[in-house]
Chains A and B, each alone.
Chain A
């Protein structure tokens, strides 16, 4: 080889290496937070500079010291016990023909269904992933065997090596395949598969357990128009309907087994009417997390008496909910979507529109209200509009299989409404529960309310659900014949309705005039029947059963628009979301469902419009203008870099209302440090010398952390992940405040052991339809249920040292097209639905933060809505937690413009952190813009963001070990140093080789 070729080749090698290292370094720096979190690297550490401090473990685990293996083991055991307890009390027994359950005396069983061997322990999203064989995961077979069942090994092994699979994300090389998660097609083996193993069924024939699974994912809803299995329907079917192979399987097991039990491994409401034809028992188990199957097995053999209740309505047709028309996989585009894209750019993600025609009528609020009106003969409720296909009339008994709050027990209970006290702010109901059966069990007391729907409400377009849950309680384990009195306290605020016309058109909450009813019941429908009975209605009026009026209580109220007129700090509650009504922009564009005319307002087709120029201007997302009275950049900046001697430990008891001290604390920073206070990611960066870098948790059923001390398993040191608890509908379905609170406590413990400052982990969004891809993470279909459960979970978690942050605030009720989808609704529906679902967690329990959603409310991205983030959260609710966007990474470099990149608008709206922006790209852009435009207002907003962030940090486990004389020292991660060295060395070597190449060329030429 000639010398010139050697140098040429070596130059190529080193130059290529330099380019790779250089761009790799940029990529790594942009994703430093993720790399650091995966490698366990902390880029800043707390160093004690004073004398030996006193105890600085401000936030302690209830299990002991964080460096104690014994304490860690106790924490892990307690978390797993919580996981099992959730299933024990949250699984809902939907059917139990001839008391087939519990399976007493049954030992040899056959377990069917691909979902048995490949269950969804959770769906794809944030948090620890449990899977068969992973640390602490108990699969169904292991759980059953631990409870004394003998499982048909032949069938089990066959299923393990079967070919059925749920939809998975397809990754064609050309991107030509589509993501098919959310489909149920092909998720079950066919009949021929099962018939190969019929010989084994005889020996293991005591009972057949059939597991059916449905699974969505983050970004993927279940399909409203799914394919059937091969040989099935040629027309699209709901993914929640039985598919052909499932139906064939049920037929086969019905023919061969005397006892058929179906387990619904799905947080989404499957269509169960066909299952009921074949099964003897149905048990809703949602997703079990790490060890929920233990609770399932205990229920099956009777060790545990089920006491869970449904938190969703199980309709005959999953597509009968009015919300399904314009959402999920059926979300329409704006009629001029192409024009929108060409006008404002595709990166604004403004193509899709979701007109929430259902108004306030989500879940049972639709089915039960329409039922009440059908009984009372109001509002054309019995019309066949919206009824099952081919029906001549809308009939509740045909439309609903299992109502909200439904769930059976192995015993029977008698509940008596002893007394009701209506106070100024609270209502108290006392209920005596007696176990009238012959086995011990727990009983749920469900308290529902009905508020008046009269002429005022019709005239003022104030919609009313005929019934809403307002409180609940649960007995302890009641022995046969034993009684217990349960007291349920109700906040009267939950009886208030939002009236846009109240207070001379300013809007506000009102208590309607007329008769109010409270009622207990075994479920929402039973309670409604009790209310209707009190109003004189009977089965002769079309009721599904005669109610018991003694289980209800009636009182009257006068119209009151003053009681809830003002928010936390005396701020008037007033209309903020008028522009989120589609009709505000295009007159007559959409009709909202109203109980005044069910037939005329039920949505029968999709709603879309041509976005006007004015609408596109707002969709474009750029509205920030420097205020005329904005101070100069220099004026604001002059206050910075002034040392006050305050450190994080000194701030941990300073209230946020002490503005002066907080400003003094922040003014120690350089203005260049401020963007780091807006950077939330897997690992959040240090903010100057004020706070260290730290990690955060993410995931509604698991914070996704790790315990710090490796555990020896089979001779290997293994890092134990934090627990994956049951899916949220199981937790909420316990109707047990103690269990819900303990979920909060344990997730706080998980967060502390993982050293997480905050956890984006409380799922307050609604199950707007049965198809939500993240229904497993969200609590229920009912806003007040989420309000009540969320308040308890968050309050408990905030008592630990790791904050709770509900998500996705607000209105993230669908996964498909969630990026920027423009959601339109009435202000009443938004306030009483989406907002109230979060209000318990945020306002009542004072969560440490929130994570927003990708969707738009009206035409504005949630994160850039001033009405939402400042008027409602800060002013009306008086809440001061940290407001974080959903994922808004900068892809290495912030590019101004594009859906998530309107940083000035977002900050001005009141949002203060950007998720997955570990480099502070958005904040840096704002800082630069403030400099370039001499805008002290933007700099002030960055300062406010820093105060908010540091306030949250100062109330967290991150302050542990931090005394008043401690300082923060920064460290460069080793991988960054390695990449820098590689870049520099390869660059130098490339230059040297290039020089040698040139020299050899010159030499060669001279030689010639």
Chain B
């Protein structure tokens, strides 16, 4: 797709794609430090990256659907990681170490921030065309 044909949706999807990849890298670090990351989270993230990457091909008949799937997958990733890390946050706020990993709370905040940004971008992308007619 030439530069002239790219629309706002293309750039939004591209940013979403980058944020999803950043999320993946963060999750790999988070998991390696003991954070809970379920296998389904990686799968959902892979789906999200593929769906958003597909939008970079320009406006296709299935683009609207992949955008929705991408946004939903990102929401799943965000909520599941947050949910599994809730004790990290709760213990960090209370200054104790009990059943979570409070030292990872900062990373939970970062992941949530990046993820929310990705979801907003993905939703915005699904409202917009990926290429000009």
Given contacts A171-B102, A172-B103, contact A16 B71 (CB under 8 A): yes
Does A172 contact B83, Cβ atoms closer than 8 Å?
Answer: no
* B103 partner residues in chain A, CB cutoff 8 A: 169-172, 175, 177-179
Contact B87 A217 (CB under 8 A): no
In the bound complex, residues from chain A placing their C-beta under 8 Å from that of B33 are 174-175
- Which chain B residues lie closer than 8 Å to A621 at the CB level? none
Determine the chain A residues whose CB is within 8 A of the CB of B68 once the complex forms: 8, 11-12, 15, 994
- The answer, yes or no, to whether A19 is at the interface (CB within 8 Å) is yes
A701 to B101, CA, bound (A): 25
Interface residues of B in 19-78 (CB under 8 A from A): 29-30, 33-36, 61, 64-65, 67-68, 71-72, 74-76, 78
- Per the CB 8 Å criterion, the residue count for chain A at the interface is 50
| Known A217-B95, A218-B97; contact A26-B83, beta-carbon cutoff 8 A | yes
Q: Is A13 an interface residue (CB 8 A)?
A: yes
A892 cross-chain contacts in B, Cβ below 8 A: 83
Which of B80, B92, B99, B119 is the one whose CB lies under 8 Å from A169?
B92
Q: Is the CB of B83 within 8 A of A27?
A: yes
CA distance A170 to B107 in the complex (A): 11
Q: Is A446 an interface residue (CB 8 A)?
A: no
Contact of A179 among B98, B102, B107, B127 (CB under 8 A): B102
Q: Which of B74, B124, B127 has the most CB of A within 10 A?
A: B127
Name A167-219 residues within 8 Å CB distance of B.
Answer: 168-175, 177-179, 181, 217-219
Q: Which residues of B contact A174 (CB under 8 A)?
A: 29, 33, 106-107
Task: Give the docked Cα–Cα distance between A77 and B16 (Å).
Answer: 58
A5 interface residue per 8 A CB criterion: yes
The proximity string for A residues 1-23 relative to B, scoring 1 for CB distances below 8 Å and 0 otherwise, is 11011111101110110011001
Is the Cβ of B126 less than 8 Å from the Cβ of A175? no
Min C-beta distance of B18 to chain A, whole Å: 18
A-B contact count (CB 8 A): 139
B2 contacts the other chain (CB 8 A): no
The CA of A181 and the CA of B96, in the complex, are separated in Å by 9
Q: Which residue of B lies closest to A176 (CB)?
A: B33
**Least distance between B73 CB and chain A CB atoms (Å):** 9
On whether the beta carbons of A125 and B126 are closer than 8 Å, the reply is no
Measured in the bound complex, the distance between the Cα atoms of B83 and A349 in whole Å is 22
Cβ–Cβ < 8 Å partners of A31 in chain B: 86
Please state if B126 and A8 are interface contacts (CB–CB under 8 Å). yes
A11 in complex: contacting residue of B82, B97, B126, B129, CB < 8 Å: B126
Q: Is the CB of A23 within 8 A of B80?
A: yes
B122 interface residue, CB < 8 Å from A? yes
Cα A199 to Cα B30 in complex, Å, equals: 52
* B13 contacts chain A at the CB level, 8 A cutoff: no
Residues of B within 8 A of A8 (CB): 64-65, 67-68, 126-127
* Minimal beta-carbon separation of B128 from chain A (angstroms): 6
Q: Is A928 in the interface zone, CB < 8 Å from B? A: no
Q: Chain B's nearest CB lies how many Å from the CB of A983?
A: 12
Residue of A nearest to B133 (CB): A2
Cβ–Cβ contact B76 & A12, under 8 A: no
CA distance A900 to B98 in the complex (A): 12
For A178, the chain B residues whose CB sits under 8 A away are 103
Chain A's closest residue to B89 (CB) is A171
Chain A residue contacts of B119, Cβ below 8 A: 16
Docked-complex contact B102 and A16, CB < 8 angstroms: no
Beta-carbon contact of B98 and A12 below 8 Å: no
Q: Are A6 and B99 in contact (CB under 8 A)?
A: no
Asked whether any CB of chain B lies closer than 8 Å to the CB of A982, the reply is no
A172 and B106 in contact (CB under 8 A), knowing A12-B72, A24-B79, A217-B97? yes
* B71→A15 contact, CB < 8 A: yes
Chain A contacts of B101 at CB under 8 A?
A: 175
Known: A12-B71, A15-B72. A173 touches B106 (CB 8 A): yes
Q: Does A124 contact B (CB under 8 A)?
A: yes
Residues of A within 8 A of B61 (CB): 1001
Query: Does A891 interact with chain B (Cβ within 8 Å)?
Result: yes
Q: Which of A27, A819, A1001 contacts B64 (CB 8 A)?
A: A1001
Q: Are A5 and B95 in contact (CB under 8 A)?
A: no
Distance to closest chain A CB from B76 (angstroms): 5
CB neighbours of B65 from chain A (8 A)? 8, 997
List the A side residues contacting B129 at CB < 8 Å: 2, 5
Q: Does A889 contact B (CB under 8 A)?
A: yes
Residue of A nearest to B78 (CB): A20
Complex: A4 Cα to B68 Cα, angstroms: 12
| B97-113 near A? 1/0 per residue, CB < 8 Å | 11101111111011000
Collect the chain B residues with CB atoms within 8 Å of residue A24's CB: 79
Q: Are A179 and B105 in contact (CB under 8 A)?
A: no
Instruction: Please indicate the chain B residues that have their CB under 8 angstroms from the CB of A4 in the complex.
Output: 64
CA A19 to CA B95, docked complex, whole Å: 31
**B35 contacts A175, C-beta separation under 8 Å:** yes
Report chain B residues within 8 Å CB of A179: 97, 102-103
Contact in complex: B30, A175 (CB < 8 Å): yes
Q: Return chain B residues, CB-CB under 8 Å to A916.
A: 99
A171–B91 Cα gap in the complex (Å)?
A: 11
Residue of A nearest to B30 (CB): A175
Indicate whether A12 sits within 8 Å of B123 (C-beta atoms), given known contacts A19-B76, A173-B107: yes
Q: Which of A12, A26, A815, A916 has most B Cβ within 10 Å?
A: A12
Asked whether A151 is an interface residue with its Cβ less than 8 Å from the other chain, the reply is: no
Complex contact A175–B92 (CB within 8 A): no
Q: Are A181 and B72 interface neighbours, CB within 8 A?
A: no
| Complex CA–CA separation, A839 to B41 (angstroms) | 48
Quote the shortest CB–CB distance from B37 to chain A (angstroms).
Answer: 13
- Chain B residues with CB below 8 A from A9, complex form: 123-124, 126-128
Beta-carbon contact of B127 and A5 below 8 Å: yes
Query: Of B82, B95, B99, B123, which contacts A181 at CB under 8 A?
Result: B95
Chain A residue numbers with a CB within 8 Å of B107 are 171-175
Q: Is the CB–CB distance between A887 and B96 below 8 Å?
A: no
Q: Which residue of B lies closest to A900 (CB)?
A: B99
Q: How many angstroms from the CA of A13 to the CA of B122 in the assembled complex? A: 10
A20 with B83, Cβ < 8 A, contacts A174-B107, A220-B97 known: no
Contact among A15, A16, A169 for B95, CB-based, below 8 A: A169
Q: Considering only CB atoms, which chain B residue lies closest to A24 in the complex? A: B79
Cβ A19 vs Cβ B79 within 8 A: yes
Chain B residue nearest to A886 (CB atoms) is B98
Whether the pair B106, A171 counts as a contact (CB closer than 8 A) is yes
The complex places the Cα of A838 from the Cα of B104 at a distance, in Å, of 35
CA A169 to CA B80, docked complex, whole Å: 25
Point out which of B30, B87, B102, B126 has the most chain A C-beta atoms below 10 A from its C-beta: B126
Closest to A993 in B: B68
Across-interface contacts of A172 in B (CB, < 8 A): 103, 106-107
Interface residues of A in 97-148 (CB under 8 A from B): 124-125
Q: Is the CB of A997 within 8 A of B64?
A: yes
Q: Is the CB of B96 within 8 A of A124?
A: yes
Residues of B within 8 A of A181 (CB): 95
- Cβ-defined partner of A23 (8 Å) among B79, B92, B94, B124: B79
Measured between beta carbons, the chain B residues less than 8 angstroms from A173 are 106-107, 109-110
CB within 8 Å of B: which of A235-276? none
Rounded to whole Å, the gap between the CB of A888 and the closest CB of chain B is 8
- Closest Cβ of chain A to B35, distance in Å, is 7
Question: How far apart are B75's CB and chain A's nearest CB, in angstroms?
Answer: 4
Chain A to chain B: the 8 pairs with minimum beta-carbon distance, closest first: A219-B97, A9-B127, A124-B95, A171-B106, A23-B79, A8-B64, A218-B96, A12-B126
Given pairs A15-B68, A997-B64, 8 additional interface contacts (CB within 8 A):
A12-B72, A12-B122, A15-B75, A27-B86, A168-B95, A174-B107, A175-B101, A888-B99
- Ordered by A's residue number, 12 sampled pairs between the chains whose C-beta atoms are within 8 Å are A9-B127, A19-B76, A23-B80, A23-B83, A171-B92, A179-B102, A217-B97, A219-B97, A219-B98, A220-B96, A892-B83, A1001-B64
